Amino acid sequence: MEAALLAWFERNGRDLPWRKTRDPYAILVSEVMLQQTQVERVVPRWRRWLERWPTVEALAAASPAEAIREWQGLGYNRRALNLHRAARHVATRGWPDDLTELPGVGRYTADAVSCFAFGRAVLPMDVNVRRVVERTGASFSPAAAQALMDLGATVCLARVPRCGVCPLAERCPSRGRRYEPLRKQGPFEGSFRQRRAQTLRLVASAARRLDELDAEAVRSLARDGLVSVRGGIVSLPA
């Protein structure tokens, strides 16, 4: 199966900029940005981030406030803070052997950076890779990681797989199956997540008085370290 998958990938693989580097910092930035955010939105923001902070040392020298401001619009802003903390960890102590020691880096992200940057023999299991592996029941090597990601993202879709164009369909035991929709997150509009995002956007533009803001959202943001409250003034962390 892997040979057929790699042949398909050679013809159909997505042209993504972070696939043209082995820089662990650049790959870490891409993986953190891709958490909960669509590829199309990430590409220009990844380029902009690396133009501003081309090395892990450059990001480490910036303030958390600068990282949070640059992140605005990508959502789940705690990712920016964790990425900044990870950069400071690497800048002072180097890349750890176990990348899950870095702030905000879980098993998948650690495996992705290990595989794509350091060439370690580990297959990163994101939702797309896991879907293909579970449906085919096949084993794949780390060399097939990016091909599996693309197949899961564009062909082996969550609900209605495109089996007619799948290079693995002939030997796939799940061919032709349809799947129930997974439980979706509640709508963003009118949610507490939206209130948090709106509040952080206001504070990112300028420090604000607490009584001008959504107090519940401020408390939540402060618990995550995304804002600081002193003397009734809310600002980004220094």
CA atoms within 13 A on the CB side of 225: 12
Give catalytic status of residue 134 as yes or no: no
> What's the CA gap between 4 and 235, in Å, rounded?
54
Torsion of CA 158, 160, 165, 167, to 10 degrees: 40
CA 153 to chain centre: 15
Q: Are residues 106 and 82 in contact, defined by beta-carbon separation less than 8 angstroms?
A: no
Of the listed 2, 10, 31, 66, which one is catalytic? 31
Q: Select from 9, 1, 3 the least CA-distant residue to 146.
A: 9
Task: Specify the amino acid at residue 154.
Answer: T
CA-based max dimension of the chain: 67
Active site residues: 31
